[in-house]
Amino acid sequence: DTAVSQTPKYLVTQMGNDKSIKCEQNLGHDTMYWYKQDSKKFLKIMFSYNNKELIINETVPNRFSPKSPDKAHLNLHINSLELGDSAVYFCASSLGVYNEQFFGPGTRLTVL
Amino acid sequence: AQTVTQSQPEMSVQEAETVTLSCTYDTSESDYYLFWYKQPPSRQMILVIRQEAYKQQNATENRFSVNFQKAAKSFSLKISDSQLGDAAMYFCAYRYGAAGTASKLTFGTGTRLQVTL
Protein backbone atom coordinates (compact mmCIF):
# COMPACT_ATOMS: atom_id res chain seq x y z
CA ASP A 1 0.00 0.00 0.00
CA THR A 2 2.94 2.29 -0.73
CA ALA A 3 1.73 5.84 -1.45
CA VAL A 4 4.71 7.43 -3.20
CA SER A 5 7.50 5.11 -4.26
CA GLN A 6 10.86 5.80 -5.80
CA THR A 7 13.32 3.51 -7.50
CA PRO A 8 16.06 3.02 -6.83
CA LYS A 9 16.54 3.98 -3.17
CA TYR A 10 20.30 4.12 -3.63
CA LEU A 11 22.26 4.88 -6.76
CA VAL A 12 26.05 4.94 -7.00
CA THR A 13 27.55 5.87 -10.32
CA GLN A 14 30.57 7.38 -12.02
CA MET A 15 30.94 10.95 -13.21
CA GLY A 16 29.78 11.42 -16.77
CA ASN A 17 27.17 8.67 -16.68
CA ASP A 18 23.46 9.14 -17.43
CA LYS A 19 20.95 7.86 -14.88
CA SER A 20 17.22 7.92 -14.20
CA ILE A 21 15.17 7.91 -11.02
CA LYS A 22 11.56 6.77 -11.19
CA CYS A 23 8.65 7.93 -9.09
CA GLU A 24 5.17 6.50 -8.89
CA GLN A 25 2.20 7.43 -6.72
CA ASN A 26 -0.97 5.43 -6.21
CA LEU A 27 -2.90 8.16 -4.40
CA GLY A 28 -4.77 9.44 -7.43
CA HIS A 29 -2.94 12.76 -7.19
CA ASP A 30 -2.54 15.02 -10.20
CA THR A 31 0.49 17.05 -9.14
CA MET A 32 4.00 15.70 -8.68
CA TYR A 33 7.31 17.23 -7.65
CA TRP A 34 11.02 16.65 -7.51
CA TYR A 35 13.04 18.10 -4.63
CA LYS A 36 16.77 17.91 -4.03
CA GLN A 37 18.28 17.64 -0.54
CA ASP A 38 21.98 18.47 -0.48
CA SER A 39 24.65 17.28 1.95
CA LYS A 40 23.71 20.03 4.41
CA LYS A 41 20.12 18.77 4.43
CA PHE A 42 18.84 21.79 2.52
CA LEU A 43 15.73 20.92 0.49
CA LYS A 44 14.87 22.73 -2.69
CA ILE A 45 12.21 22.31 -5.34
CA MET A 46 13.40 21.35 -8.79
CA PHE A 47 10.32 20.63 -10.87
CA SER A 48 6.58 20.23 -10.58
CA TYR A 49 4.00 18.77 -12.94
CA ASN A 50 0.25 19.24 -12.77
CA ASN A 51 -1.77 16.90 -14.99
CA LYS A 52 1.43 16.11 -16.89
CA GLU A 53 2.10 19.80 -17.57
CA LEU A 54 5.30 21.36 -16.26
CA ILE A 55 4.33 24.16 -13.86
CA ILE A 56 7.53 24.70 -11.91
CA ASN A 57 11.00 24.62 -13.39
CA GLU A 58 13.48 26.11 -10.97
CA THR A 59 17.01 27.08 -11.91
CA VAL A 60 18.27 23.59 -12.58
CA PRO A 61 20.99 22.60 -15.07
CA ASN A 62 19.47 21.36 -18.31
CA ARG A 63 21.25 18.06 -17.71
CA PHE A 64 18.21 17.35 -15.54
CA SER A 65 15.10 16.44 -17.49
CA PRO A 66 11.84 15.41 -15.88
CA LYS A 67 9.33 13.30 -17.73
CA SER A 68 5.74 12.64 -16.78
CA PRO A 69 4.26 9.87 -18.94
CA ASP A 70 1.02 10.00 -16.97
CA LYS A 71 -0.36 11.60 -13.81
CA ALA A 72 0.89 8.75 -11.62
CA HIS A 73 4.51 8.87 -12.73
CA LEU A 74 7.25 11.48 -12.74
CA ASN A 75 10.72 10.37 -13.69
CA LEU A 76 13.96 12.31 -13.45
CA HIS A 77 16.71 11.75 -15.97
CA ILE A 78 20.16 13.17 -15.36
CA ASN A 79 22.77 13.39 -18.10
CA SER A 80 26.53 13.68 -17.68
CA LEU A 81 26.47 13.30 -13.91
CA GLU A 82 28.77 15.54 -11.88
CA LEU A 83 30.12 15.23 -8.35
CA GLY A 84 27.85 18.08 -7.25
CA ASP A 85 24.78 16.08 -8.23
CA SER A 86 25.33 13.84 -5.23
CA ALA A 87 22.29 14.37 -3.03
CA VAL A 88 19.04 12.82 -1.93
CA TYR A 89 16.25 13.34 -4.44
CA PHE A 90 12.69 13.31 -3.18
CA CYS A 91 9.57 12.84 -5.22
CA ALA A 92 6.30 14.16 -3.82
CA SER A 93 2.69 14.33 -4.93
CA SER A 94 -0.46 16.21 -4.03
CA LEU A 95 -4.07 16.44 -5.11
CA GLY A 96 -4.15 19.80 -6.81
CA VAL A 97 -1.62 22.50 -6.07
CA TYR A 98 -3.15 23.50 -2.75
CA ASN A 99 -3.12 20.32 -0.78
CA GLU A 100 -0.64 18.45 1.35
CA GLN A 101 2.37 17.03 -0.41
CA PHE A 102 3.19 13.41 0.29
CA PHE A 103 6.84 12.53 -0.04
CA GLY A 104 8.50 9.41 -1.30
CA PRO A 105 11.34 7.74 0.64
CA GLY A 106 14.05 9.54 -1.32
CA THR A 107 16.81 8.31 -3.61
CA ARG A 108 20.36 8.79 -2.42
CA LEU A 109 22.52 9.48 -5.46
CA THR A 110 26.27 9.25 -5.06
CA VAL A 111 28.49 10.32 -7.93
CA LEU A 112 32.09 9.11 -7.73
CA ALA B 1 11.38 35.83 -3.05
CA GLN B 2 10.14 34.00 -0.03
CA THR B 3 12.69 32.85 2.51
CA VAL B 4 12.38 30.64 5.56
CA THR B 5 14.86 30.87 8.42
CA GLN B 6 15.45 28.37 11.18
CA SER B 7 18.03 29.86 13.52
CA GLN B 8 18.54 26.78 15.68
CA PRO B 9 20.66 24.16 13.91
CA GLU B 10 20.35 21.81 16.90
CA MET B 11 18.14 21.51 19.93
CA SER B 12 18.02 19.03 22.76
CA VAL B 13 15.16 18.12 25.07
CA GLN B 14 14.69 15.59 27.83
CA GLU B 15 12.05 12.95 27.46
CA ALA B 16 8.64 14.15 28.70
CA GLU B 17 9.72 17.80 28.58
CA THR B 18 8.58 20.52 26.20
CA VAL B 19 10.65 22.08 23.45
CA THR B 20 10.01 24.91 21.02
CA LEU B 21 11.57 25.13 17.57
CA SER B 22 11.76 28.55 15.95
CA CYS B 23 10.98 29.57 12.40
CA THR B 24 10.68 32.94 10.75
CA TYR B 25 9.79 33.66 7.17
CA ASP B 26 9.75 36.55 4.79
CA THR B 27 6.95 37.17 2.32
CA SER B 28 4.97 40.03 0.88
CA GLU B 29 1.95 37.81 0.32
CA SER B 30 -1.10 37.65 2.57
CA ASP B 31 -2.37 34.25 1.45
CA TYR B 32 -0.03 31.40 2.24
CA TYR B 33 0.46 28.20 4.17
CA LEU B 34 3.09 27.15 6.68
CA PHE B 35 4.18 23.64 7.55
CA TRP B 36 6.42 21.70 9.85
CA TYR B 37 7.90 18.51 8.43
CA LYS B 38 9.78 15.86 10.38
CA GLN B 39 12.61 13.86 8.84
CA PRO B 40 13.74 10.94 11.04
CA PRO B 41 16.90 8.96 10.26
CA SER B 42 14.83 6.85 7.88
CA ARG B 43 14.88 9.92 5.61
CA GLN B 44 11.11 9.93 5.10
CA MET B 45 9.55 13.41 5.10
CA ILE B 46 6.49 13.42 7.36
CA LEU B 47 4.06 16.30 7.68
CA VAL B 48 3.67 17.21 11.33
CA ILE B 49 1.36 20.21 11.22
CA ARG B 50 0.08 22.91 8.87
CA GLN B 51 -1.25 26.42 9.35
CA GLU B 52 -3.27 28.53 6.94
CA ALA B 53 -2.26 32.19 7.15
CA TYR B 54 -5.87 33.37 7.10
CA LYS B 55 -6.65 31.42 10.26
CA GLN B 56 -5.93 33.23 13.50
CA GLN B 57 -6.24 30.11 15.60
CA ASN B 58 -3.03 28.20 16.11
CA ALA B 59 -3.00 24.67 14.70
CA THR B 60 -2.70 21.72 17.06
CA GLU B 61 -2.07 18.03 16.39
CA ASN B 62 -1.92 15.98 19.56
CA ARG B 63 1.41 16.85 21.27
CA PHE B 64 2.38 19.27 18.51
CA SER B 65 1.19 22.86 18.37
CA VAL B 66 2.30 26.04 16.68
CA ASN B 67 2.57 29.65 17.71
CA PHE B 68 1.74 31.57 14.56
CA GLN B 69 2.46 35.29 14.75
CA LYS B 70 1.53 36.67 11.34
CA ALA B 71 2.64 40.25 11.92
CA ALA B 72 6.01 39.10 13.21
CA LYS B 73 6.23 36.42 10.47
CA SER B 74 7.03 33.83 13.06
CA PHE B 75 5.90 30.20 13.13
CA SER B 76 7.29 28.17 16.02
CA LEU B 77 6.60 24.51 16.78
CA LYS B 78 6.03 23.34 20.31
CA ILE B 79 6.43 19.66 21.12
CA SER B 80 4.96 18.67 24.48
CA ASP B 81 5.75 15.51 26.42
CA SER B 82 8.69 14.78 24.14
CA GLN B 83 9.29 11.17 23.21
CA LEU B 84 12.36 9.36 21.93
CA GLY B 85 10.61 8.94 18.61
CA ASP B 86 10.48 12.70 18.18
CA ALA B 87 14.22 12.78 17.55
CA ALA B 88 14.61 13.95 13.96
CA MET B 89 15.35 16.89 11.69
CA TYR B 90 12.47 19.34 11.65
CA PHE B 91 11.89 21.56 8.67
CA CYS B 92 9.73 24.62 8.53
CA ALA B 93 8.22 25.26 5.10
CA TYR B 94 6.24 27.96 3.34
CA ARG B 95 3.89 27.76 0.41
CA TYR B 96 2.19 30.60 -1.39
CA GLY B 97 -1.60 30.36 -1.47
CA ALA B 98 -2.42 30.90 -5.13
CA ALA B 99 -2.12 28.60 -8.13
CA GLY B 100 0.88 27.90 -10.34
CA THR B 101 4.11 28.33 -8.44
CA ALA B 102 2.04 28.20 -5.29
CA SER B 103 2.61 24.49 -5.08
CA LYS B 104 6.32 25.04 -4.43
CA LEU B 105 7.40 24.40 -0.85
CA THR B 106 10.23 26.65 0.36
CA PHE B 107 12.08 25.02 3.23
CA GLY B 108 14.19 26.32 6.06
CA THR B 109 17.59 24.79 6.79
CA GLY B 110 16.24 22.49 9.46
CA THR B 111 16.68 21.96 13.19
CA ARG B 112 18.06 18.69 14.46
CA LEU B 113 16.20 17.67 17.62
CA GLN B 114 17.79 15.28 20.08
CA VAL B 115 15.70 13.67 22.78
CA THR B 116 17.58 12.45 25.85
CA LEU B 117 16.53 10.17 28.68
A1-22 burial, b at 16+ Cβ within 10 Å, e below that, comes to: eeebebeeeebebeeeeebebb
What pLDDT does residue A51 have?
85
Question: How many folded domains does chain A comprise?
Answer: 1
Residues 6+ apart with CB under 8 A from B60: B49, B66
Q: Quick check: B53 and B2 in contact, CB under 8 A?
A: no
Of B42, B103, B107, the CB nearest to A43: B107
Residue of A nearest to B111 (CA): A41
* Strand residue runs (E) in B31-73: 32-39, 46-52, 60-61, 64-69
Residues 6+ apart with CB under 8 A from A24: A4, A5, A6, A72, A73
Q: How far apart are CA B6 and CA B107, in angstroms?
A: 9
Is the Cβ of B89 closer than 8 Å to some Cβ of chain A? yes
Residue B85 phi, psi (nearest 5): -70, -5
- Cβ <8 Å between A42 and B109: yes
Domain that holds residue A82: 4-107
- Give B50-78 pLDDT, tens digit per residue: 999 989 899 999 999 999 999 999 999 99
Residue of A nearest to B103 (CA): A97
Domains of chain B in sequence order: 3-116 (2.60.40.10)
What pLDDT does residue B99 have?
56
CATH number assigned to the domain comprising residue A25: 2.60.40.10
Q: How far apart are CA A101 and CA B96, in angstroms?
A: 14
- Report if residue A112 sits inside a domain: no
- Report if residue A42 sits inside a domain: yes
- Report if residue A70 sits inside a domain: yes
By DSSP bridging, strand A107-111 and strand A10-13 are: parallel
- Give A52-61 pLDDT, tens digit per residue: 888 888 878 9
Higher-confidence residue of B100 and A9: namely A9
- Report if residue A33 sits inside a domain: yes
